A and B are shown apart, each in its own frame.
Chain A
Amino acid sequence: MNVLAVTDEAREKHPLEDYLRVDRLPHIWCPGCGLGTILGAFLRGLLKSGLTPDKVAVVSGIGCTGRVAGYIKLDSFHTTHGRAIAFATGLKLAKPELKVVVFSGDGDLAAIGGNHLIHAGRRNIDMTVLCVNNFNYGMTGGQFGPTTPETARSTTSRAGNIENPFNMSALAAASGATYVARWTAAQIHQMEKSIIEALLKKGFSFVEIISPCPTYYGRMNRLPTGLDQMRYYRSNSVVRHGANPNEVGAGTNGQIVTGKFIDIERPYLPGPRDGENGG
């Protein structure tokens, strides 16, 4: 095989280059992590949505997914652990013409930030939350968290997790979200389509994306590479649109039900105003 030396001038521009901080690449994510795939789907979805990118702000919490804000070339905020939704609430209420997107992980959104998640859903704040769920705390080294399936091993549950996990999609739906969908990182096109729908939805939209963490969760649970986890998703995922989110858990010791579960209309905050992005 020939190896071509490609000069900067000859290099074809990546279609998402204008929306990535290329001067910060390579990113810090592990080989086999799902975050690159998900970030790509988000940016493609954003460009297809028709929203004005300069009027989109991305807010992240802390953790591996929290680092997304630092690679996206939009107005982007890397805030405190768990507080991304609360920060985003203030940003959106003060400047309603912005489309505000929270991009964060399951530990950030369901554990330390769980209170803000449920209250943002209750208020039906007009924002989109992308929750990358890898079933553990990746950045700190693979501890179990509120989404870790029962019996799954982690660096703080070596004999198997004894706690019952949260079903993130059910939690968002019960809190009052007007749009709830779940996909795995292996369902790139469905994920992208859902992200577009969520971005254009008025009110609190929530997309849960099950994503591989080969370095910790996968390695400790007999799925040691990103590819193993992606294969697992392919063989165990089913699409069931409109399923009751309460009846569809999302562990890695059973079937993963994916699809668009909730798509309803409900009054939202801040109320509709002229000049809103995409409105």
Chain B
Amino acid sequence: MSDREHLEGEHFMSGDEACSEGAISAGCRFFAGYPITPATEIAERMSDRLPEVGGTYVQMEDELGSMAAVLGASWGDAKAMTATSGPGFSLMMENIGLGVMLETPCVVVNVQRAGPSTGLPTMVGQGDMMQARWGSHGCYSIIAISPDSVQEVFDLMIKAFNLAERFRLPVLVMMDGAVGHMYEKVVIPPLDKIHLVTRRRPDVPPGEYWPYMPDEDLIPPMANTGEGYRFHVTGLTHDERGYPAMDPEAQDKLVRRLVEKVERHRDEIIELEEDGTDDAEVVVCAYGITARVATIAVERARREGTRVGLLRLITVWPFPEDKIKSLARQVKAFVVPEINYGQISLEVERSVAGMARLALVPHMGGDVHNPATILEAIRQVIK
């Protein structure tokens, strides 16, 4: 192993750079993308770093092709990723759906900027959270995670690749322009301290292999291209053999499994951070850069004597509704600040189901919340 393979040690780097390093340490050896602010630095670093570690960087003609190439590379036995922002994320939705349908492990990073459309290209937004969940057509479940620091970007890239390989689907890393362009200390641990997961391979010979015959955990082993399995995979509704099956029964069986393979493993997937929620009367629920801002508001509210907890969503999808439900029985109110006009707050509202009050603190983007605005929402909601 060359000493450039894994940059163990302390670094001062941006979220976008840490994203690339996390990917490299996770074993990512293929990047296909299209330059877009504020995710460009990820592509730039990958174009430098991948050749150093025997990987491949390809700059595609658009994000439609980037996402398709990522899927192709994953079937070519590479841990593969792309990185983009809102406008590119919209284009990638087409083949994110194919990734779900073909059950293709890969990682898609979205360094969110403010939209809609071209919006504020260089400035922060969190407006793609519902698109992450529902953006491709049809019914499926997805995994999305959201880091709030440069160190966590590194750590979550490893988690993202592990989840993708384990559950065979595109995992979405929902960064934001603030975290992507922020510089902080990052500690890259020794490689032997990093737990890596790789896709399960079939243990049956070619001829006996059915590409979509799931194991007990609903996840089918994935054959490698070029090893004689002669498998067929299709974006059409298919049976366990991978053959098109144009009937409601096959559709029912397939879609239920695609959803259930995620939902049944919620406990294994979901990661949250709680601070002072045990005896809280108000819980602020936030993710990404907004969780960092919310921390300031929470501290100020505590100094005023309010019992405030912070629930930080590291995993956003599948949504941790059980956690919200159990907190809703205990607290008077939730406060949900996010850099959009209300997306994750809708999920909180659904989970709370009327058991507590809820205050959305929307912010349209371009910069982060003023902590005073979140503090005021905390004061108002317990009045």
Report B81-105 residues with CB < 8 Å from chain A CB: 94-95, 97-98, 102
- A93 contacts partner chain B, Cβ-Cβ < 8 Å: yes
Q: Give every chain B residue within 8 A of A77 (Cβ-Cβ).
A: 72, 75, 102, 232-234
Q: Is B305 an interface residue (CB 8 A)?
A: no
Q: Mark B48-64, 1 if CB is under 8 A from A, else 0.
A: 00000000101011101
Interface residue? B366 (CB, 8 A): no
**Complex Cα spacing A92 to B225, Å:** 11
**Docked-complex contact B30 and A89, CB < 8 angstroms:** no
In the complex, the answer to whether A80 meets B225 with C-beta atoms within 8 Å is no
Would you list 28 pairs from A and B whose C-beta atoms are within 8 A, ordered by A residue? A54-B226, A73-B230, A76-B231, A77-B75, A77-B232, A78-B236, A79-B235, A83-B65, A83-B94, A86-B69, A86-B72, A87-B71, A89-B58, A89-B69, A90-B80, A91-B225, A93-B58, A94-B29, A94-B74, A94-B75, A94-B78, A95-B77, A98-B226, A115-B62, A115-B64, A116-B68, A119-B60, A119-B61
User: In whole angstroms, what is the CA distance A89 to B78 when docked?
Assistant: 13
Q: Does A200 touch B at the CB level, under 8 Å? A: no
Q: Is A111 in the interface zone, CB < 8 Å from B?
A: no
CA distance A229 to B299 in the complex (A): 79
Q: Report how far A21 CA is from B97 CA in the complex, Å.
A: 26
**B230 and A74: CB pair below 8 A?**
yes
Contact A94 B230, beta carbon cutoff 8 Å: no
Assess the A88–B230 pair: CB atoms within 8 A.
no
Residue in A70, A82, A95 whose beta carbon sits within 8 Å of that of B76 in the complex: A95
Nearest-Cβ distance from residue A176 to partner chain B, whole angstroms: 13
Q: Which residues of A contact B102 (CB under 8 A)?
A: 77
Asked, given contacts A75-B226, A75-B229, whether A91 binds B65 with beta carbons under 8 Å apart, the answer is: no
A69 to B232, CA, bound (A): 7
Evaluate contact between A93 and B73: CB separation under 8 angstroms. Answer: yes
Residue pair A93, B76 in contact (C-beta under 8 Å): yes
**Which residues on the A side are within 8 Å of B70 (C-beta)?**
90
Known: A77-B233, A86-B69, A94-B77. A55 touches B226 (CB 8 A): yes
- Residues of B224-261 at the interface with A, using a CB-CB cut-off of 8 Å, are 225-236, 243-244
Residues of chain B contacted by A24 (CB below 8 angstroms) = 243
Q: Chain A residues with Cβ under 8 A from B244's Cβ?
A: 70, 78
Could you say which of B29, B68, B226, B232 contacts A80, with CB atoms under 8 Å apart?
Answer: B68
- On whether the beta carbons of B73 and A94 are closer than 8 Å, the reply is yes
A92 close to B76 (CB less than 8 A)? yes
Determine whether B36 belongs to the interface, using a CB cutoff of 8 Å to chain A: no
Chain A residue with the shortest CB-CB distance to B60: A86
On chain B, the residues within 8 Å of A76 by CB distance are 230-233
Establish whether residues B98 and A80, one from each chain, have CB atoms under 8 Å apart when the complex forms.
yes
Note all chain A residues with C-beta closer than 8 A to B98: 79-80, 83
- Tell me whether A57 and B225 are in contact (CB under 8 A): yes
The 3 closest A-B pairs by CB, nearest first: A90-B72, A94-B76, A90-B69
CB distance A78 to B226 under 8 Å?
Answer: no
Whether, in the assembled complex, B123 has its beta carbon less than 8 Å from a beta carbon of chain A, the answer is no
Cβ of B311 under 8 Å from chain A: no
| B235 / chain A contacts, CB cutoff of 8 Å | 78-80
Chain B residues whose C-beta falls within 8 Å of the C-beta of A73 in the assembled complex? 230
**When the two chains form their complex, are residues A90 and B30 in contact, meaning their CB atoms are under 8 A apart?**
yes
Cβ–Cβ < 8 Å partners of B56 in chain A:
93-94, 270
Determine how close the nearest CB of chain B comes to the CB of A18; give it in whole angstroms.
10
In the complex, how many angstroms separate the beta carbon of A243 from the nearest chain B beta carbon? 29
Which residues from A are CB-within-8-Å of B229? Answer: 75
Tell me, in angstroms, the Cα distance from A95 to B58 when the chains sit together.
14
Instruction: Say whether chain B's binding surface is mostly helix, strand, loop, or mixed.
Output: mixed
What A residues does B236 contact at CB under 8 A?
78
Instruction: Point out residues on A near B: beta carbons under 8 Å.
Output: 21, 24, 54-55, 57, 59, 69-70, 73-80, 82-83, 86-95, 97-98, 115-116, 119, 270
Q: Is the CB of A94 within 8 A of B80?
A: yes
Task: Chain A residues near B336: list those with CB within 8 A.
Answer: none
Chain B 201-245 interface mask (CB, 8 Å, partner A; 1/0) = 000000000000000000000000111111111111000000110
Question: Once bound together, how far apart are the Cα atoms of A94 and B57, in whole Å?
Answer: 10
Q: Is the CB of B65 within 8 A of A89?
A: yes
Whether, in the assembled complex, B32 has its beta carbon less than 8 Å from a beta carbon of chain A, the answer is yes
User: Given A69, A80, A94, A97, which contacts B30 in the complex, CB threshold below 8 Å?
Assistant: A94
* Other-chain residue from B58, B68, B225, B230 in contact with A98 (beta carbon distance below 8 A): B225
Instruction: Pick from B68, B74, B78: contact of A86, CB below 8 A.
Output: B68
Q: Closest residue to B243 on the A side, CB-wise?
A: A24
Partner of A57, one of B29, B69, B97, B226: B226
Tell me the bound Cα distance from A69 to B29 in angstroms: 27
Cβ–Cβ contact A91 & B75, under 8 A: yes
Contact B76 A98 (CB under 8 A): yes
Does A75 lie within 8 Å of B225, measured CB to CB? yes
* Residue in chain B with minimal CB distance to A84: B68
B residues near A98, Cβ cutoff 8 Å: 76, 225-226
- Residue among A59, A70, A94 with max Cβ neighbours from chain B (10 Å): A94
- Please name all residues of chain B whose beta carbon is closer than 8 Å to the beta carbon of A83 when the two chains form the complex: 64-65, 68, 94-95, 98
A129–B368 Cα distance when bound, in Å, is: 49
A116–B232 touching, CB < 8 Å: no
The distance in angstroms between the C-alpha atoms of A95 and B223, with both chains bound, is: 14
Q: How far, in angstroms, from A54 to B227 measured CA to CA in the complex? A: 6
- B30, B64, B71, B231: the one contacting A75 at CB < 8 Å is B231
The reply to whether B225 and A95 form a contact with Cβ atoms under 8 Å apart is yes
**A67 to B: closest C-beta gap in Å:** 8
Q: Which residues of A contact B231 (CB under 8 A)?
A: 75-76
Residues of A within 8 A of B74 (CB): 90, 94
CB A73 to nearest CB in B, in angstroms, measures: 5
Q: How many angstroms from the CA of A75 to the CA of B71 in the assembled complex?
A: 15
Residue of A59, A73, A74 most packed against chain B (CB within 10 A): A74
Instruction: Across the interface, name the chain B residue whose C-beta is closest to A75.
Output: B225
